[in-house]
Structure 1
Amino acid sequence: MQRIIQFFSQRATTLFFPMALILYDFAAYLTTDLIQPGIINVVRDFNADVSLAPASVSLYLAGGMALQWLLGPLSDRIGRRPVLIAGALIFTLACAATLLTTSMTQFLVARFVQGTSICFIATVGYVTVQEAFGQTKAIKLMAIITSIVLVAPVIGPLSGAALMHFVHWKVLFGIIAVMGLLALCGLLLAMPETVQRGTVPFSAVSVLRDFRNVFRNPIFLTGAATLSLSYIPMMSWVAVSPVILIDAGGMSTSQFAWAQVPVFGAVIVANMIVVRLVKDPTRPRFIWRAVPIQLSGLATLLLGNLLLPHVWLWSVLGTSLYAFGIGMIFPTLFRFTLFSNNLPKGTVSASLNMVILTVMAVSVEVWPLAVVSRRETAVSPAGSGGRGDCGLHPGDTITARAPA
Structure 2
Amino acid sequence: MQNVHTEKLSRATLMFPLALVLFEFSVYIGNDLVQPAMLAITQDFGVSSSWAPSSMSFYLLGGACVAAVLGPLSDRVGRKKVLLGGVAFFTLCCLAILLTHTIESFLTLRFLQGFGLSVISAVGYAAIQETFEERDAIKVMALMANISLLAPLLGPVLGAFLIDHVSWHWGFIGIALLSFLSWFGLKAKMPKQQRSMPKQPIGYILDDFKRVFKNKRFLGLTLGLPMVAMPLMLWIALSPVMLVEELGLSSMQYGLAQFPVLGGLIVGNIVLIKIIDKLPLGKTVLIGLPLMLIGTAAVLLGTVFPQYFLYSAILGMTLVSFGEGISFSVLYRFALMSSEVSKGTVAAAVSVLMMFCFFIVIELVRVLYEHFHIWAYGVSCFALIALWFSFPRGVLNSVLQQRKAEGEF
In the superposition, the TM-score normalised over structure 2's length comes to 0.85
Give matches, 1:89-168, under 5 Å.
Answer: 89-168=88-167
Equivalent in the alignment of 1:275: 273
Task: Map Cα deviations across residues 222-261 of structure 1 (whole Å, 9 max, x no partner).
Answer: 1112112112211211111111222233221111111111
Please give the alpha-carbon distance, in whole angstroms, between the structure 2 residues aligned to 1:169 and 1:91: 18
Shift of 1:303: 2.3
Alpha-carbon distance change, 202 to 68 in structure 1, aligned in 2, over 3 angstroms: farther
Contact 2:29 2:152 in 1 (8 A): yes
- 2: CA distance, partners of 1:282 / 1:339: 17
Q: 1:347, 1:112 → 2: CA distance?
A: 22
- Is contact 2:35–2:56 with CA below 8 Å preserved after alignment? no
Matching residue within 342, 345, 350 for 2:343: 345
Amino acid at match of 1:231: A
AA matched with 1:331 = S
- Structure 2 CA distance for aligned equivalents of residues 122 and 280 of structure 1: 27
Residue in structure 2 matched with residue 191 of structure 1 by the alignment: 190
Structure 2 CA distance for partners of 1:175 and 1:37, relative to 1, 3 Å? same
1:33 has 2:32 as partner: yes
Give the fraction of aligned pairs with identical amino acids, expressed as a percent. Answer: 37
Structure-2 separation of matches of 1:86 and 1:11 = 27
2:302, 2:308 within 8 Å by CA — same for their partners in 1?
no
CA spacing shift, 1:232–1:186, aligned 2, 3 Å: same
Please say which structure displays the higher CA radius of gyration.
Answer: 1
CA distance in 2 between partners of 1:321 and 1:58 (Å): 24
* Distance (Å, rounded) in 2 between the aligned partners of 1:280 and 1:203: 43
Measured in 2, the distance between the counterparts of 1:265 and 1:27 equals 19
Q: Which residue pairs with 2:385 in the alignment? A: none
**Residue identity in the other structure for 2:93:** A
Aligned mates of 2:279, 2:166 — CA distance in 1: 44
Count how many residue pairs are aligned between Structure 1 and Structure 2: 366
Contact 2:35 2:52 in 1 (8 A): no
Equivalent residues of 2:228, 2:328 under 8 A apart: no
Deviation of 1:137 (Å) = 0.8
Give the equivalent residue in structure 2 for 1:253: 251
Paired residues of 1:77 and 1:202 also in contact (CA < 8 A): no
Matched, 1:229 2:224: no
Tell me by how many angstroms 1:283 deviates.
1.7
Give me the whole-angstrom Cα distance separating, in 2, the residues matched to 1:228 and 1:281. Answer: 24
- Tell me if structure 1 keeps the 8 A contact 2:287–2:323: no
Amino acid at match of 1:230: V
Instruction: Please list the CA deviations of residues 245-295 of structure 1 after superposition, one character each: whole Å capped at 9, or x if unmatched.
Output: 222332211111111111111111000111123324662333212222112
Shift of the 210–189 alpha-carbon distance from structure 1 to 2, 3 Å rule, reads same
Query: Partners in 2 of 1:284 and 1:197 — Cα distance?
Result: 29
Structure 1, 135-144 or 229-238: larger mean CA deviation: 229-238
Q: Deviations over 1:81-109 (max 9, x none)?
A: 10111110011001111221122122111
Contact kept in structure 1, 2:35 and 2:53, CA below 8 Å: no
Residues 13 and 192, structure 1, Cα contact 8 Å, conserved in 2: no
Unaligned runs of 5+ in 2: 1-8, 374-409
Opposite residue 313 of structure 1, the aligned amino acid is Y
In 2, distance between residues paired with 1:12 and 1:284?
Answer: 27
Distance of aligned partners of 1:374 and 1:331 in 2 relative to their CA distance in 1, 3 Å threshold: closer
Which structure 1 residue ranges, 5 or more long, are not aligned?
Answer: 1-9, 376-404
Match of 1:301 among 291, 299, 312: 299
Give secondary structure in 2 for the equivalent of 1:373. Answer: helix
CA distance in 2, matches of 1:40, 1:187: 35
Distance in 2 (CA, whole Å) between partners of 1:118 and 1:348 is 16
More deviation, 34-43/278-287: 278-287
1:173 aligns with 2:175: no
